[in-house]
């Protein structure tokens, strides 16, 4: 039985590794190859502290978790600037560096020989020195970690991670701090892997660099791919299959070494089949909501939150003498623009005139080379995009940037401001408040979807919407931000007359309720119908501002625009 218990203990440890790694790989979409390094840091920290310094086991384990989480946060720093295969290279380098340190720091880590004589864990006076006794602890810890990470995955914080995975620019445009999300995801994943490492050290009473090679990271990654990226239960199933498989092969009457070769061949074949026929894994990522009864009755009751100190026609957002140079290319050449409360401002001009550049400057996605940006008279020139959203300015994008692998409802929910569940400590220490607010937000999100005509699509993935419905979802996501200033980049282009007839009143209603609305549009009939004022841009600057009908009577502007 000890052999059977040993297999189950190893399954528990790998389940911890797979679920923790899935936070970074599956939820956050950050492809890294350093998980075995975090596993090793946790194991060696507790081994060194308990054997060399006599630190109590659980204190040493806690220190190992904190230290590894800190290393994980440092490992996330490259992810702030690089992604994709560049991040793979950086994290692979971290893996190599950690193993080299373990092999060469002879006095501290024991070098290639490792550390032996690690004390066993003692609980209630009993030493957990056998697989059967240790299994209980391993199973309890693995189960607790699974449910803790599951709570994270279904929380607003987990939703923000998935949104970041889908599109970093879009998640910033709804007020999420990408830097914090990446740092927390890496730190949490690393710290959890350290728990598995600490348990391993005290289970086998020995650690060596060979136990934490890149092969371990690849094995855990294979578990996630097999079970399902983004699905924590799938990661556990993947761990069970790939831990059990080599043990089953040991019972086959095969020549020495053949079982290992068959195992590697089976791994490769299995992953090829999964990636070819079910790339989402055995258990695809699925998150469903139990909708509150009041949410089911949501039908057009949506009302924007009234603005405090609203003054119709007052300047809300202004850019003064904005310049933006990309080397020798001048994208903005002294843009002066004022957006006023209660009015819809249209930006018109030929392609390349600087309209989208103006939006990027006003919302922090570009920092001006020179010039100032003010919101209600206060400078916001150097604020990051998510901070500008918190201040009350939100924008859409010409290419929409929806969270396509998330539901329509999630696309709206992620944009709500001041969510308790966006903060990790609230997820775990104020779950009741988080759940109550989530129910209220779901009801309000459905009201918004009803308002724009997408209520029946709430549970559908955004990738399955028509182009017109995608445009409506963009507007719904903007409404959810409750921002005072709304900047819409070509929200009406490509829409059929029926959809236009639904959208135009929404834009007008936003202004009537005190919002400051600015939109980029090439359809002059739409500009004439919906806008109170229009600004003509060309050559990276505003040439003239006036009422749409006045601008369209200017033959020079019309000739220049049409050409």
Q: How many helices (H) and strands (E) does the chain have?
A: 23, 14
Domain boundaries, the chain: 2-213, 315-414+458-562
Give the residue among 227, 217, 218, 223 at the shortest CA–CA distance from 280. Answer: 227
Q: How confident is the model at residue 84 (pLDDT cuts 50, 70, 90)?
A: confident
Query: Using one digit for the tens of pLDDT, what is the confidence trace for 159-168?
Result: 999 999 999 9
Distance CA 94, CA 88 (A): 10
State the residue for tokens 């007008």: 508
Q: Is the pLDDT of residue 81 over 60?
A: yes
Provide mean pLDDT across the span 80-88.
79
Give the Å distances, CA to CA, from 392 to 300, 333, 479. Answer: 24, 26, 12
Which pLDDT band holds residue 272 (cuts at 50, 70, 90)? confident
Tell the residue number behind the tokens 């490259």, with chain if given. Answer: 78
Confidence of residue 311 (pLDDT cuts 50, 70, 90): confident
Residue 549 token pair: 């009908």
Assess whether pLDDT exceeds 90 at residue 524.
no
Q: Is the pLDDT of residue 75 over 90?
A: no
Percent of the chain with pLDDT over 70: 93
Q: Indicate the CATH number for domain 315-414+458-562.
A: 3.40.50.300
> What dihedral angle (degrees, nearest 10) is formed by the CA atoms of 69, 73, 75, 79?
140
What would the mean pLDDT of 30-37 be, rounded to a whole number?
94
Flag whether pLDDT at 503 surpasses 90: no
Tell me the average pLDDT across 356-367.
95
> Tell me: the pLDDT tens digits for 227-257?
999 999 999 999 999 898 777 766 666 666 6
Please give the average per-residue pLDDT across 346-367, as a whole number.
93
* pTM, entire model: 0.92
Whether the CA torsion 231, 233, 235, 241 is positive or negative: it is: negative
Q: How far apart are the first and last CA of the chain?
A: 83
Instruction: Please give the structure tokens belonging to residue 290.
Output: 């139990």
């Amino acid at each position: 039985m000890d052999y059977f218990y040993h297999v189950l203990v190893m399954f528990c440890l790998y389940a911890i590794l797979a679920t923790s790694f899935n936070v970074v790989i599956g939820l956050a979409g950050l492809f890294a190859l350093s998980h075995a390094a975090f596993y090793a840091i946790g194991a060696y920290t507790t081994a060194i502290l308990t054997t060399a310094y006599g630190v109590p086991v659980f204190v040493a384990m806690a220190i190992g978790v904190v230290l590894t989480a800190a290393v994980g946060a440092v490992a996330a720093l490259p992810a702030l600037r690089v992604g994709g295969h560049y991040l793979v290279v950086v994290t692979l380098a971290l893996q190599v560096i950690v193993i080299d340190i373990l092999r060469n720091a002879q006095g501290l880590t024991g070098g290639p020989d490792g550390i032996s004589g690690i004390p066993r864990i003692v609980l209630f006076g009993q030493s957990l020195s056998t697989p059967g006794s240790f299994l209980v602890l391993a199973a309890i810890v693995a189960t607790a970690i699974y449910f803790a990470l599951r709570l994270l995955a279904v929380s607003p914080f987990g939703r923000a991670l998935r949104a970041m995975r889908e599109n970093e620019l879009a998640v910033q445009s709804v007020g999420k701090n990408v830097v914090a999300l990446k740092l927390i995801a890496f730190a949490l994943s690393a710290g959890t892997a350290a728990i598995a490492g600490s348990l391993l050290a005290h289970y086998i009473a020995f650690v060596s660099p060979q136990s934490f090679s890149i092969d371990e990271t690849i094995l855990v990654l294979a578990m996630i791919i097999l079970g399902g990226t983004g699905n924590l239960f799938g990661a556990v199933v993947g761990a069970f299959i790939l831990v059990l498989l080599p043990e089953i092969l040991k019972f086959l009457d095969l020549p020495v070494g053949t079982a290992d070769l068959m195992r590697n061949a089976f791994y490769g074949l299995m992953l090829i089949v999964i990636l070819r026929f079910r790339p989402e894994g055995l258990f695809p990522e699925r998150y469903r909501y139990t909708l509150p009864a009041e949410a089911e009755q949501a039908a057009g009751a949506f009302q924007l939150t009234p603005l405090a100190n609203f003054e119709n026609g007052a300047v809300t957002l202004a850019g003064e003498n904005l310049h933006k140079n990309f080397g020798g290319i001048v994208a903005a050449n002294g843009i002066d623009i004022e957006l006023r409360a209660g009015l819809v401002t249209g930006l018109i001009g030929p392609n390349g005139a600087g309209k989208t550049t103006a939006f990027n400057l006003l919302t922090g996605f570009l920092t001006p080379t020179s010039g100032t940006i003010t919101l209600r008279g206060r400078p916001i020139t150097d604020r990051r995009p998510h901070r500008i959203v918190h201040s009350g300015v939100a924008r859409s994008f010409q290419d929409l940037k929806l969270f396509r692998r998330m539901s329509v409802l999630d696309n709206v929910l992620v944009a709500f401001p001041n969510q308790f569940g966006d903060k990790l400590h609230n997820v775990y220490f104020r779950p009741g408040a988080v759940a109550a607010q989530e129910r209220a937000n779901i009801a309000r999100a459905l009201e918004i979807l009803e308002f724009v005509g997408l209520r029946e699509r709430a549970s559908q993935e955004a990738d399955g919407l028509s182009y017109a419905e995608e445009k409506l979802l963009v507007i719904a996501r903007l409404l959810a931000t409750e921002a005072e200033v709304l900047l819409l980049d070509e929200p009406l282009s490509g829409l059929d007359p029926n959809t236009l007839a639904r959208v135009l009143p929404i834009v007008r209603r936003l202004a009537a309720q005190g919002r400051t609305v600015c939109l980029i549009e090439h359809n002059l009939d739409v500009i004439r119908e919906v806008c109170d004022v229009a600004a003509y841009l060309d050559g990276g600057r505003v040439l003239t501002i006036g009422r749409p009908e006045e601008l369209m009577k200017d033959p020079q502007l019309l000739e220049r625009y049409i050409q």
